[in-house]
Amino acid sequence: MFMEREFQTAEELATALRAGEVTSVELTDEAIARIERDDKVINAICVPDFDRARAAAHRADQARARGEDRPLLGIPVTVKESYNIARLPTTWGMPQYRNYVPPEDAVQVSRLKAAGAVVLGKTNVPLGLQDIQSFNEIYGTTNNPWDHGRTAGGSSGGSAAALACGFGALSIGTDIASSLRTPAHFCGVYAHKPTLGLAANRGMVPPTAPALPSDLDLAVVGPMARTARDLTLLLDVMAGPDPLTLGVAYDVTLPPARHERLRDFRVLVLDEHPLIPTGSAVRAGVNRVAAALVDGGARVERHSRLLPDLTEAATLYTQLLISSTPARFPIESHEQLRNRVAGLRADDQSLDAARLRAMVFSHGEWMETNNRRELHRHGWRQLFAEFDAVVCPITPTPAFPHDHHPNLMERRIDIDGVEYPYLDQLVWAGLATMPGLPATAIPAGRSPEGLPVGVQLIGPMFEDRTPLRLAELLEQKIGGFQAPK
């Protein structure tokens, strides 16, 4: 029974718990045993909290015995290290905050607990959440469960690796640069980047920063799981405004999915980007999904005049993402950056140049960029009047080998034998992030080397149930999560 439950979904575990076939204490003990047995080589769980998990499981069993039934009652889960959890360290992998312990839970941790979840511990992240990998001086490197010489992704890499290894049925992560979607793609699991503003993020803050109910540009918190239906289950727990601000007056009611049957969906499929090539393994995954859509009767197109310009979208995303960083630079570095920007050629429109220029943006320049973003949002609204979802890559390649070079600007990503700037692979991440659209990452097969390959399903703003339903239908059509060998 131990192995039979190892990779069961949250939905299946909830059914077994309601039927009295298993207790939360048993599930929690089994999950802890798996972590203690297997995590030495993966290093996904950086802050275990097993004593409190066992106590929470015991309380969950008592609550069920009293007749209570909450969405996640008794189900073991994990939480990304960057979320505040009272009495556990929140470091973001930064050595100077090694001993920082926040006073209270993040709002999403509170929602997990209110829904009855049993928190097993925290999952690993990169230094300051600033990488597409998950390694730091405090907790070390998280390895990909499919190939320990490769990254599990970042910055929610520990959560994706934990799910792939059966360390809990669900996890929560964050996404500003595909930090939910890329680890899911690299590890063969599911993730959902919600519409910007759909899920409150208070308490997902850098160490020592006050946990204020402020809205963050581009950044979201979201669910990770081993099935599409479990993503929906967890999103329903996470969704909703902060009770200190908009939650005073508003409740969230997401509209239903636009369609229930695959043959009713209208889908735009993209596998090429003007700024970076798509590797053959990822292209094959996109095409596999496209073929499944066609076979299921969906209307599939490869081009649309309504698609916002991909080059401008990538540039806007880069500018909005990077322009928030100068506040953390000392004034000497700021002056050095200005000198470097002054040395750029006027005709240099590369993403590296966009990153550098964005670091010294004025407020007026940021406002101009934001206005252009609003035009892109309007363009997406027009596109989603004719399509229900967009299928496209998450990154150009499957998981790549660990690369700990300290300067991200000097790293390179190998795409079918040709090297490209490391950060340019984020162009697909920004396609959904820049306008704030929901995007669901799903498994889409394996590379010739046996590595997981995923794609993302981008949907209309605040219609998160539409890409989630499409993910569920595709899971039925092409299969979903498979455990690492």
Predicted confidence at residue 219, as pLDDT, reads 96
Predicted confidence at residue 72, as pLDDT, reads 98
Active site residues: 80, 155, 179
Q: Identify the burial level of 59 via C-beta atoms within 10 angstroms of its C-beta, where 0-12 means exposed, 13-18 middle and 19 or more buried.
A: middle
Predicted confidence at residue 336, as pLDDT, reads 85
Predicted confidence at residue 331, as pLDDT, reads 60
Predicted confidence at residue 327, as pLDDT, reads 61
Sequence-distant (6+) residues with CB within 8 A of 207 are 90, 91, 92, 94, 97, 100, 102
The residue type at 278 = T
φ/ψ of residue 348, rounded to 5 = -80, 100
Contact 239, 249 (CB under 8 A): no
Predicted confidence at residue 485, as pLDDT, reads 84
Q: In 3D, which of 275, 413, 409 has the Cα closest to residue 355?
A: 409
Q: CB 40: neighbour CB atoms within 10 A?
A: 8
Q: Mean pLDDT per 10-residue run, the chain (485 residues)?
A: 75 98 98 98 98 98 98 98 98 97 98 98 97 98 98 98 98 98 98 98 96 93 98 98 97 98 98 98 98 98 98 97 73 81 93 92 96 98 99 98 95 98 97 98 98 98 99 98 94
The predicted model scores a pTM of 0.97
pLDDT tens, position by position, 91-124: 999 999 999 999 999 999 999 999 999 999 999 9
| Cα 461 from Cα 469, distance rounded (Å) | 15
Predicted confidence at residue 1, as pLDDT, reads 39
